Amino acid sequence: MFYIRCFIIALSKNPVMFNPSIEVANSNIKRFMDKYAIVDYNTLIKRSTGDPEWYWDAVNKDLNIEWFQPYVKILDLSQGKPWAKWFINGKCNIVYNCLDRHVGKQKEKIAYVWEGEDGSKRKITYDDLFVLVNKIANTLKMLGIRKGDVVGIYMPMIPEAIASMLACSKIGAVHSVVFSGFSAPALAARLNDAEAKLLITSDGYYRRGRLIDLKKEADLALKQSPNVSKTIVCKYANNDVEWDHSRDHWYDEIVKGQSGYCKCEVMDSEDPLFILYTSGTTGKPKGTLHVHGSFMVFAAQQAAYLIDLKKDDVLFWPADIGWITGQTWTVYGSLMLGSTSVIYDGAPDHPSPDRWFRIIDGYNVTIFGASPTAIRLFMKYDNIINRHRLDSLRILATTGEVLNPDEWIWFFKNVGKSCCPVMNLSGGTEIGGAIVSALPIMALKPSTVGGPVPGIDADVFDESGKPVREVTGYLVIKKPWPGMTRGLWNDAERYIKSYWSKYDGIWFHGDWALIDSDGFWYLQGRVDDVIKVAGHRISGAEVESALSSHHVVAEVAAIGVPHAMKGEAVIVYVVLKNEFMAGQKLKEELKAYVAEQIGKIATPEEVRFVKDLPKTRTGKIVRRAIRAKVMNVDLGDLSGLENPESIQALDNAI
């Protein structure tokens, strides 16, 4: 029986949320601390970061992760911090820990409950998933996929998508999941960079009752992706699609005749597991690379200790598997701990605003995760949401962007019924999960991300590289951790420049952070031009690159600005070529063009036409100054501008 009493709110200038039983007796993190006689959070952080080899070995043992051959050393820094290796010479397969070891013990236990937007439902046991994964794995081998080959996955949130990920991992292939909301050019760019040999997709899916023809987008992408020779298509929307008989295979037909057993490939701890792309400060997405052994331990730690996921829990965190949240918690973390997860395909408020909350009550969900964007959406419907019991919940989780105090308190009171701690966390694709997180052993303030995740030596630095408190600084990590990306796919130079060049031997994450006088941590947004739209990372440079390819555009600058619903929105300033005239029709055309090139999530909120953009004497566009002008804040030093008059001219943008 879980025992978490309701919080008491202390009404002060900076209210702290206290919980009389915050140190839940049977929480995973408390159990770990008791095992090693660790008295409090600060002691845990000091010990886990002071001796990371001890800590990560202890995590592996505490969570009973199984290896085919034990590792002989925890950490190897012989090639320097950026190229740290973990669990040296250990042999494993993450899917063995997700499925194979569970099947004999909990064959009939539900691994996933699935609901579609139209109300369709499925329940998949661990045995069902085991057999399905093995059939897909054998299919991939029949089609010539071998250990080390890259397989693209471009699918809606259906069980076959998760099974396809696991099938790749089981045979040692490297999966690269691409968010199904991306359009053909964005998919092609990722397939080509990863050198994918095969694509798994679906005929389509529905959003708010409208058909999205995913196969059409996949076909367009494959015209630009010569390395992909085979495609497996899952019939889901039942729409008519174009067919290439030399390349395309219906999922049901090709999988049906395969054996329901496939032996796990023996993988080295450092063998590639997956490539997941994240937006960067240039137009080209960054391919982060995660590996079997380290991600296996890290994902289990993130699920067990951060959100207190246990075998008897039901997790509902509707995050797409095209993002790290979906992969770390809903797929690998949940399965390794032998839990049950609910997966949902569709819009959060369709066909009714309380759809997710009916799911929570219907399946007795115990841990619920939601993005800040979703929380802002639901705040409009609190009269409807308050009709639901939600009494099965014990933990709330959120990540993706900054959650302000009003939103935090609404989530805590209306969804958590003032009884569930809010595990607000933040990290990234290249992290493998979270850097900072509230934990079930903490008192909490609204909006706080708690503090560093155990085992991650995080800090907040000023420009000179000195730790700062009570003022905003740069979020950094001082030592390697197992979930760290193993470089960027085919781009070692960009990896070093992106993360290791600002401070010597220190990971620079690109987020603003603040530690208050009580030691609580807060995230303050991005330092670079990565824009968080509804929790999705959109590169300003990628938007600019797309628009620059339009025949009317001479120059363009994209910035992110606060948005009441999305967190941030994209605004673009466009300089037209001389022969073209500004107008509303052209604005809509350029918006649609961005959606076509990248995906609807990148569609600019506004397109503004100007005669010139502020630039340095070397021709670099000063986006910082544009954003400051739009936000009506201090413009800072403009002495380096070649054309300072362009700043004031922004007021006259069409």
Tokens of 447: 């909006």
pLDDT higher for 532 or 84? 84
The predicted-structure confidence for 477-502, as pLDDT tens digits, reads as follows: 999 999 999 999 999 999 999 999 99
Q: First CA to last CA across the chain, in angstroms?
A: 62
Tell me which residue of 191, 181, 139 sits closest to 160, measured CA to CA: 139
- Taken in order 372, 377, 380, 382, the sign of the CA dihedral is negative
Average pLDDT over residues 464-487: 96
Contact (CB, 8 A) for 506 and 477: yes
Tokens of 619: 């021709």
In the chain, count of helices (H) and strands (E)?
22, 33
The predicted-structure confidence for 448-461, as pLDDT tens digits, reads as follows: 999 999 999 999 99
Task: Check pLDDT > 50 for residue 503.
Answer: yes
Supply the pLDDT for residue 617: 54
Residue 64 class from Cβ within 10 Å (0-12 exposed, 13-18 middle, 19+ buried)?
exposed
Task: Check pLDDT > 80 for residue 6.
Answer: no
Task: Check pLDDT > 50 for residue 4.
Answer: no
> How far is residue 174 from each of residues 182, 296, 508, 578, 646, measured CA to CA in Å?
20, 15, 27, 47, 48
The predicted-structure confidence for 198-211, as pLDDT tens digits, reads as follows: 999 999 999 989 99
Tokens of 162: 């998760």
Contact (CB, 8 A) for 196 and 228: yes
Residues 379, 377: Cα–Cα separation, whole Å: 6
Bridge-partner residues for 210, per DSSP?
207
Provide the 8-state DSSP code for 391. Answer: T
Contact (CB, 8 A) for 398 and 387: no
Task: Check pLDDT > 60 for residue 297.
Answer: yes
Name all domains of the chain by residue range, CATH numbers in brackets: 8-93+303-526 (3.40.50.12780), 97-265 (3.40.50.12780), 530-652 (3.30.300.30)
Under the banding of pLDDT at 50, 70 and 90, the label for residue 640 is low
Tell me which residue of 231, 320, 244 sits closest to 599, measured CA to CA: 320
**pTM attached to this predicted model:** 0.85
Under the banding of pLDDT at 50, 70 and 90, the label for residue 12 is very low
Tell me which residue of 483, 330, 404, 432 sits closest to 424, measured CA to CA: 404
Angle at 393 between CA 388 and CA 399, to 5 degrees: 105
Residues 6+ away with beta carbon under 8 Å from 636: 624, 625, 628
Task: Check pLDDT > 90 for residue 621.
Answer: no
Tell me which residue of 419, 424, 420 sits closest to 439, measured CA to CA: 424
Residues 6+ away with beta carbon under 8 Å from 406: none
Distance from CA of residue 294 to its chain's centroid? 18
> What DSSP line would sit under 469-493, residue for residue?
SSS-EEEEESS--TTS--SBTT-HH
Supply the pLDDT for residue 17: 53
Residues 246, 523: Cα–Cα separation, whole Å: 50
Supply the pLDDT for residue 635: 77
Contact (CB, 8 A) for 112 and 159: yes
Tell me which residue of 628, 180, 561, 119 sits closest to 352, measured CA to CA: 119
> How far is residue 626 from each of residues 474, 555, 638, measured CA to CA in Å?
22, 14, 11
Rg (alpha carbons) of the chain, rounded to whole number: 24
Task: Check pLDDT > 70 for residue 1.
Answer: no
Q: Identify the three-state secondary structure at position 641.
A: strand
